[in-house]
Amino acid sequence: MGTCTEEFLKDRFHISGRVLALVAEAEADVAPLFAGLDDVMAFNQYKVLAAFQKNRVNDSHFSWNTGYGYDDPGKKILSGVYSDVFGTEAALVRPIIVNGTHAISLALTGVLRPGDELIYCTGSPYDTLHAVIGLRGEGMGSLADFGVAYKQVELTPDGHIDYAALKTAVSPKTRMVCLQRATGYGWRRAVMLEEIEEWARFVKGMAPEIICMVDNCYGEFLDVREPSEAGADLIAGSLIKNPGGGLALAGGYVAGRADLIEAVACRMTCPGIGDECGLTFGQTRAMLQGLFLAPKTVNGAVRGAMLCARVFERLGFEVCPASHEQRSDIIEAVRLGSPEALIAFCEGVQAAAPVDSYVRPEPWDMPGYADPVIMAAGAFVQGSSIELSADGPLRPPYNVYFQGGLTYEHSKFGVIRALQAMEDKGLV
């Protein structure tokens, strides 16, 4: 960090010399690791470009239609580009998919039928999916309400898929086995692509008809392959996370086998209509441009996560993953140990935001969560977690989950402000 930058941060943002020194030392530790990230970023940038060119994207695709949307020019081009980027037969990409949970819910409810069995093999799924599955919220139209059974296989103590337990759990009724790639609100590393490939082979070896489904949220462009290129039949994610590149205003995607995507499309609209109807509402330009920028944006977010890990490692906090470990999502978890530290960290990240920086985040009962959650998210797109954000449930051991940053410099500044907020309250 140059002298002029340091002086500006001290004068304009009241950052202490100690905080700047800690961050600079941590950055020097992780900087040699950035070259590998840059190679992955470059590969994915050209992969996305190739998909754009193959689908002959042109200016007419940025306009839109009305009514039924039969001739909406953006709809099919979005599906074609996403399908090629993720190496799948088909894709469903729409701005009316409201978040990652909605995309995953469409994948589950579109494919599963009464009497089927669903198995999650990475332990408990993300909190917001509990009501979808039927683990809470009776009578809301969950999978359980419609007669879909559920089993859960925990990870091994060292965070890997427990294949022996999974083999025991699979039954003749098992229709789908799901894997959550990202950390979620757990304390584990994200699942690597090599392990996803091994998992898919294992499941198909037991019963080729079982559908392998991956929750791909937070994981896009962390590797040169996606889960759909490593054996998964179906993947789903949110456009206000990695693949939207910070420009998509809303939306989600499901990609995979053509027959499965058709079933998902019939759930999104209705049987007999599928993906033939529906509008992009003029969002195609932002969704495509965001996807084009996404590899670079994700690269900055991963760098920021590594820096966050190293800063707090140096201060003696537990972090997951460690700063030097290979990553498969953009999330960095820090075990802060107290509600005061969790709140201070999030206040610091909020103060680093370009939008609503003057707002102080408060824990609240967010829809879909079992505990009060504090969330720092001063973003251009509400709830966008590819933009700088930090959040965590107010429950012991008070882990905070740091992610995003449209640029590395902004992600780094989030670490600086979080650390400064904790220092100001005597917590570090």
CATH code for position 277: 3.40.640.10
Domain shared by 194 and 338, yes or no: no
Q: CATH number, domain at 372?
A: 3.90.1150.60
Domain shared by 154 and 249, yes or no: yes
Domain shared by 341 and 278, yes or no: no
Domain shared by 374 and 413, yes or no: yes
Question: Which two three-digit tokens encode residue 419?
Answer: 């650390």
Domain that holds residue 17: 3-43+295-424
Domain shared by 312 and 255, yes or no: no
Only one residue has tokens 């966008």, namely: 384
Question: Which two three-digit tokens encode residue 158?
Answer: 């060292």
Please give the pLDDT value at position 185.
85
In a domain, residue 243? The reply is yes
In a domain, residue 223? The reply is yes
Strand order in the sheet with 389-393: 318-320, 332-335, 399-403, 389-393, 373-376
Question: Which two three-digit tokens encode residue 254?
Answer: 């499901």
Domain shared by 79 and 174, yes or no: yes
Decide which of 291, 323, 348 is a domain's last residue.
Answer: 291
Decide which of 291, 306, 339 is a domain's last residue.
Answer: 291
Domain total in the chain: 2
In a domain, residue 75? The reply is yes
Domain shared by 176 and 201, yes or no: yes
Please give the pLDDT value at position 78.
96
In a domain, residue 50? The reply is no
**What is the maximal distance between C-alpha atoms in the chain?**
66
Burial of 293 from C-beta contacts in 10 A (0-12 / 13-18 / 19+): middle
Domain shared by 275 and 357, yes or no: no
In a domain, residue 373? The reply is yes
Question: Which two three-digit tokens encode residue 302?
Answer: 């991963």
Please give the pLDDT value at position 138.
76
DSSP state of 370: S
In a domain, residue 51? The reply is no
pTM: 0.95
CB atoms within 10 A of CB 285: 16
Answer for the pair 411, 388: CB distance below 8 angstroms, yes or no.
yes
3-state class of 374 per DSSP?
strand
Domain shared by 377 and 274, yes or no: no
How confident is the prediction along the chain (428 residues), in pLDDT tens digits per residue? 668 999 999 999 999 999 999 999 999 999 999 999 999 999 999 999 999 999 999 999 999 889 999 989 889 999 999 999 999 999 999 999 999 999 999 999 999 999 999 999 999 998 889 999 999 877 789 999 999 999 999 999 999 999 999 999 999 999 999 999 999 888 999 999 999 999 999 999 999 999 999 999 999 999 999 999 999 999 999 999 999 999 999 999 999 999 999 999 999 999 999 999 999 999 999 999 999 999 999 999 999 999 999 999 999 999 999 999 999 999 999 999 999 999 999 999 999 999 999 999 999 887 767 789 999 999 999 989 999 999 999 999 999 999 999 999 999 999 999 999 999 999 99
In a domain, residue 202? The reply is yes
Output the DSSP codes for 338-354.
Answer: SHHHHHHHHHHHHHT-S
In a domain, residue 48? The reply is no
Domain shared by 287 and 299, yes or no: no
Q: What is the pLDDT of residues 405-421, one digit of tens each?
A: 999 999 999 999 999 99
Decide which of 250, 274, 291 is a domain's last residue.
Answer: 291
Domain shared by 152 and 207, yes or no: yes
CB atoms within 10 A of CB 67: 9
Measured between alpha carbons, how far is 48 from 74 in angstroms, rounded to an integer?
A: 17
Domain shared by 72 and 159, yes or no: yes
Q: Supply φ then ψ for residue 66, to 5 degrees.
A: -130, 175
